[in-house]
Structure 1
Amino acid sequence: MFRRYCLVGLAFTHLGVSRGLIATFSVFYVAFIETFGWSRAATAGALSLLIVTEGLSLPLAGSFTDRVGPRRALLLGGIVLALGLGFTATVSSLWQLYFWVGLVTALGLGLIGMVPHIAILSREFPERRGTALGLAFAGGGVGIAVLVPLSQALISRWGWPTAYMALAVSTAVLVIPPVLLFFPEAPAKLAVAAPDRTGKTEDWTVAQALRSGVFWLLFGSRVLASMGNQLIVTHQIAYAVDVGFSKLFAASVFGLMGICSIFGRIFFGYLADRIKREAAFTWVQAVSVLGIVALLLLKDDSLSLLLYAYAVFYGLGQGSRALVLSAISADIFSGKSFGAILGYFTLSIGIGGAVGSWLGGFIFDATGSYTSAFVIAALCCLVSVIAVWITPGMVAAQARGR
């Protein structure tokens, strides 16, 4: 039992590092634009490439974890991630930013990120899957709450290159030693059991999942959720600065968003074990839309309460989308190939996120405003909920067809 909860702690730490590092791009984004004079769309393109690369690496991470176990996958990811961050401190041109952030760092993030840990925890906690994932995903909130304001403080004091070097060293320390401690030997291959709520016993293969309409419906929902999220979070600090807030104040408020996401992930993970997962996902997206509305109403720095409202409401939903959808996918696509299936499923994060982060910059460059981008983000939230509610009927129809 103790080791099981140590694995939750390990996932908490790794997801805190990986999600927090991605969130820090919003502060480095402003620093890059100020230093090099790149356009917002071109600079945001580095994050788009990161999201695409991380997404493409997820099937590899899932298959690698299924085949050789979590130890090797996580160690490799920690090493690659630290190297990527360290070399990002040396960039002087856009192509270098794309290479070190968009390719190398992204590959490391994929290997230590959600796919290996969701597979591990779904195996260890089949009956309390939502709760375990909620506790683990809360690490992402801690990472955002700590790393975003910390990165801004480091940039303000010593500059963005030193900030990246500090992140590289910290990442190596936080990621690699715990893997050596909790995975001293290569474990057996992962096999994820389906909980009683699904009524399923079959062992899904990757080919069966990819031929399933249910898989693609959930995939589409995750694309929309990720697209809407990146339309918001990539540009949130730039937007706050545009309306009159200081960069440090904006980063601090968005640190509050990370704190709120900690409670949101734990609560919605618990809720997903107590009510229908589809209903839990609906609540997640509902509070997210409330946050987006607050951001849309924010027009100048005299309305700081709206910025706080955005941080609280959007923060409560931040990260919970992925954990509820991951729990749904684990309920349905159980078996020894779940890691690989999950890897293909989470390609949706890369697709939606890449489009969202780039689209936000493109819309601003074209219109001089983020209003249309934020409206599209809210619509993405709403449509993703509809897709998730269609899923149970498709699962039942598919079961009758077998």
Structure 2
Amino acid sequence: MPTPSRPKLDNTARTVLIAAALVVTISMGVRQAFGVFLTPVVQELGIGREVFGFAIALQNLLFGLIQPFIGMIADRFGPSRVVVAGTVAYVAGLVFAASTADPTGLLVTLGIAVGIGLAGTSFVVVLGAVGRVVPEARRPQCFALVTAGGSLGMFAVVPGAYAMLDAFGWRDAILLLALVASTMIAFGFALDGSRRRDRLTATAGSPPPAQPAGAVSLSQAMTEARGSGSFWLLSLGFGVCGFQITFIGTHLPAYVGDVGVAGWVAAWALGLIGACNIAGAYIIGSLGSRFRSRNVLVVVYALRTVFVLAVVLLPPSPAVILAFAACFGFTWLGTIPLTSTLVARIFGPRYLSTLYGIVFLSHQVGAFLGAWGGGYIYDLLGSYDAVWMAMAGLSAVAAIIHLPISDRPVVHAAAKAT
């Protein structure tokens, strides 16, 4: 349905929007580069792909498990502190990963420390900040712009990481990524714009802006979410997304080598995913303001089914891999602005970081299975074929379960109770 008006963003909203986009550009860009390190790390440490995959899986699972709590902290104390603390954990994990010599070190650094760091520098935290300072009519576009930042990071960082890996070796390359990640501290401080604006308004003698109609307490918001079938269907679908993108990000470089395609194709395929999703995330996310986000999600998952089947059934070649990367990449992070927009529409923006954090937990459970399960199945069967087919089937299921999702706001129930 068309948007009746397009209100302008004030200076605070623009500042928060730019800072949020820069944080996810760096955080997600570095994260998506981990796949290019799989082969050299496995070879030097003498471990199986399952071990490396489990470290990335643990990172994603921890990232998801603590995300609702991180969201509550950001809702209560503001996102800036969360981003700064998350950046410190992220950088520490990368620095110590560069000196690890055994699987345990890999699990503690890339798995636990980076997982905690990602939770503090993720979409959940920054979209919550953006959602509170932009008008509802502009949320889909603004969420899409922030999401596109994650794709820009993937496009910029992954080929650069591959070049650093080739020039300096994997240990020095990870240290250079840690230096890049440290810059998130500077942008994190700009995310508390809405809290500063409210304090200035109150100091000037005017009451703070009224909260939108919705749940008047976190417990009521949690109760409404728990009783909403749409909330759980949205979470399940997001879990499929997590499985897909994490399997591809972690195992595509190794898969490309397995089928006899040159290694540079893998790095550029991951970069191409990011490049295509710069446009894709914005276009797909913006469609949420013209059409029902639920219906756009159905189309996204249906298209992913086709793309995955194509890469499995067609003979492997650089052209097939890069075409798959371009097509799948167009939908890569497009689920994020649509899913977060639905959560904000149904439950309101006040506790968006918390509620979207719960939905994101499902995404990260899927991510755990994609990273670890991909390595486990490869070590068990000697190929990724079964994982590709499972991914196609899950994508079809995700398309179907989004059909009954209702985007009708339920927050009025809490308002009536008061």
Normalising by structure 1, report the TM-score. 0.91
Superposed structure 1 runs of 4+ greater than 6 Å apart: 189-194, 393-396
Aligned counterparts of 2:407 and 2:176: Cα–Cα separation in 1: 49
Q: Which residue of 2 aligns with 1:197?
A: none
Matched, 1:121 2:130: yes
Q: Give SS of 2:383's match.
A: coil
**Equivalent residue, structure 2, for 1:253:** 269
Kindly indicate whether residue 384 of structure 2 is the aligned counterpart of residue 375 of structure 1.
no
- The question of whether the paired residues in 1 share the 8 Å contact of 2:307 and 2:327 is answered with yes
The alignment's C-alpha RMSD in Å is 2.5
Unaligned runs of 5+ in 1: 195-199
Paired residues for 1:3-402 under 5 Å = 3-125=12-134, 126-173=136-183, 175-181=184-190, 183=192, 187=196, 201-203=214-216, 204-300=220-316, 303-392=317-406
Residue identity matched to 2:14: Y
Mapped contact 1:290–1:310 kept (Cα < 8 A): no
Q: Is the 8 A contact 2:27 2:121 kept in 1?
A: yes
Q: Is residue 51–residue 350 contact of structure 1 (8 Å, CA) maintained in 2? A: yes
The answer to whether the Cα contact below 8 Å between 1:91 and 1:97 also exists between their aligned partners in 2 is yes
Aligned equivalents of 1:36, 1:297: Cα separation in 2: 34
Distance of aligned partners of 1:185 and 1:292 in 2 relative to their CA distance in 1, 3 Å threshold:
closer
Cα deviations across residues 67-119 of structure 1 (Å, max 9, x unaligned)?
11112111111222111111111111101110011111111111111111111
Amino acid at match of 2:247: L
Out of 329-338 and 101-110, give the one that drifted further: 329-338
Work out the CA distance in 1 between the residues paired with 2:28 and 2:407.
33
* Alignment: residue pair count: 392
Structure 1 residues 33, 192: closer, same or farther in 2, change over 3 A?
farther
5+ residue gaps, structure 2, are 1-9, 200-207
CA distance in 1, matches of 2:71, 2:104: 29
Measured against aligned partners, the alpha-carbon deviations of 1:47-73 in whole angstroms (never above 9, x if no partner) come to 110001100121121011111111211
Deviation at 1:234, TM superposition (A): 1.8
Identity score, percent: 26
Amino acid at match of 1:358: W
Deviations 1:315-348 (A, max 9, x none): 0010111221111111112153332222222111
Letter in 1 for 2:141: T
| TM-score, length of structure 2 as denominator length | 0.87
8 A Cα contact 2:345 2:407, kept in partner: no
The 1:367/1:182 distance shift into structure 2, 3 A limit, reads closer
- Taking structure 1 as reference, are residues 374 and 185 closer, same or farther at Cα in structure 2, changes over 3 Å only? closer
C-alpha deviation, 1:228, in angstroms: 2.8
